[in-house]
Amino acid sequence: MTVYSEELFKRVFTVYGHNFDTAGETSTEIKSILKGLEIDSDIIRRALVVAFEAEMNVVMYANIGTVSFVITDEAIDIEVADEGPGIPDIEQAMQEGFSTASDEMREKGFGFGMGLPNIKKNSDVLKIESDVGKGTKLLARIRLDSNA
């Protein structure tokens, strides 16, 4: 996704599935990186929604994943690739309120089925590819010159 733009910053994080103790750590780190840069606060807010929701989906549904966080001169690119069950019906998963979260996850305050719709709402470009039984790859771009 960064072929035509200059990469200024890149970090790759590992996210562990089914581990609520470390859940959210990647997004917290991304937050501190972004706060130190001169980027519009609304762009930062949108990138953090995307990062947090995508990270939590790895925690809740996958075994392990990586979050690649890239800032170019044009955009913030967040790529999340996981090894996990995959998503059988992406269109259905994108619907507001659709969730396969367990009761335990709901007790923790997750699983309202708003993660993917909010990722969509807050990205300028979103691509999701999934192989059932193998994993899921999500690419989200938030353009630095956009304002939702």
Task: State the nearest-atom distance from the C-beta of 34 to ligand ADP, in Å.
Answer: 21
Q: What are phi and psi of 26, to 5 degrees?
A: -65, -45
Residue nearest ligand ADP, Cβ-based: 115
Q: What is the dihedral sign for C-alpha 89, 80, 101, 96?
A: negative
Q: Among residues 79 and 82, whose Cβ is nearest to ligand ADP?
A: 82
CB 116 within 8 A of CB 127: no
Q: What is the dihedral sign for C-alpha 139, 116, 37, 144?
A: positive
Task: State the nearest-atom distance from the C-beta of 110 to Mg ion, in Å.
Answer: 7
117, two tokens? 């719709």
The C-alpha atoms of residue 87 and residue 3 are separated, in whole angstroms, by 28
- Other Cβ atoms closer than 10 A to 133: 9
Q: Which of 26, 27, 57, 72 binds Mg ion (CB under 5 A)?
A: 57
Alpha carbon 10 to its chain centroid, in Å, reads: 15
Q: Is 27 in the site for Mg ion (CB under 5 A)?
A: no
Q: Which amino acid does the sequence have at 79?
A: E
- Which residue ranges make up the site for ligand ADP (CB under 6 A)? 53, 57-58, 60-62, 82, 84-87, 93, 98-101, 110-117, 136
Q: Which of 17, 84, 115, 135 binds Mg ion (CB under 5 A)?
A: 115
Task: State the nearest-atom distance from the C-beta of 54 to Mg ion, in Å.
Answer: 8
Segment lying near Mg ion (by CB under 5 A), choices 12-20, 30-38, 56-64, 124-132 = 56-64
Residue nearest Mg ion, Cβ-based: 115
Q: Which residues contribute to the site for Mg ion (CB under 5 A)?
A: 57, 115
